[in-house]
Amino acid sequence: MVIFGQVFWLPASVYVIDLGIGDVLTLEAPVAFLLQVNYLEMIQRTGPLQMAVLGVLVGFSIFSLTVIFAKWSAFGRASRANLRFLRVFRKASGLQAVMAASERYRRAPLVGVFDFGYEEVERQVKARGKLTNRTAIERALQLGVSEELAKLERNMQWLATTASVSPFIGLFGTVLGIIRAFLDLSQQGSTSLRTVGPGIADALIATAVGLLAAIPAAIFYNVFGHRIRELGARLEDFSLEFLNLAERSFGE
């Protein structure tokens, strides 16, 4: 049974833990304990190496959150632009009409694929007056799909790196903190938990910060990966629709 202290009930419905009294830890006590902890003071007590580790983790966290918000916004814009462009494409009577309208939907990945395919169609039509090489058009469309997927995947590696590396960096900071706590313990000549406890608690902050950086990065890496696969499938389907419209417009 874990002994932390006695929990008192105040009129304002706030729990306070008296660490000097040895009573059984109740259900509400952990929340009260977390609210009582002075995190700023704990960070200030850390050594320079631990501060460097925390600085690295905070940098990872800020950058990964920046990537998350930027990618979320970019995927939303791309999806909306794709839907609008696709409606125009399916209503168009030919590729020339789509080309004229595509300038309004430059944010749509489908427009990038369309441009690759249209350039190849235009070369063949200018040279022979009709489509002569369907395989060349398919290759051009595939290049367009690869180009757009590369744009969508930009900075995804930072989320993967943050998700996989941050917990280990945090663990490294915790190990440094525990080593420091035991060195201080040996110098004081005391083996009580009251002596070593604060140092170990300070050391564990690095692990907590590492997990706080890694968890959102891991979640959104998987979320964005799923959306990229969905958009990739939509680009592949559009390539088939483009070939159909090209053959209707210019024949083969």
Domain ranges of the chain: 1-36, 39-250
Which residues in 42-60 are b (16+ Cβ under 10 Å) and which e? Answer: beebbbeebeebbebbeeb
Closest CA to 33 of 14, 52, 47: 14
What is the chain's pLDDT, residue by residue, as a tens digit (252 residues)?
344 444 444 444 444 444 444 445 455 545 454 455 555 665 666 667 778 888 899 999 999 999 999 999 999 999 999 999 999 999 888 888 888 888 888 889 999 999 999 999 989 888 887 888 889 999 999 999 999 999 999 999 999 999 999 999 999 988 888 887 777 777 766 666 666 666 677 778 888 889 999 999 999 999 999 999 999 999 999 999 999 988 887 765
How much is the pTM? 0.74
Cβ proximity of 81 and 234 under 8 Å: no
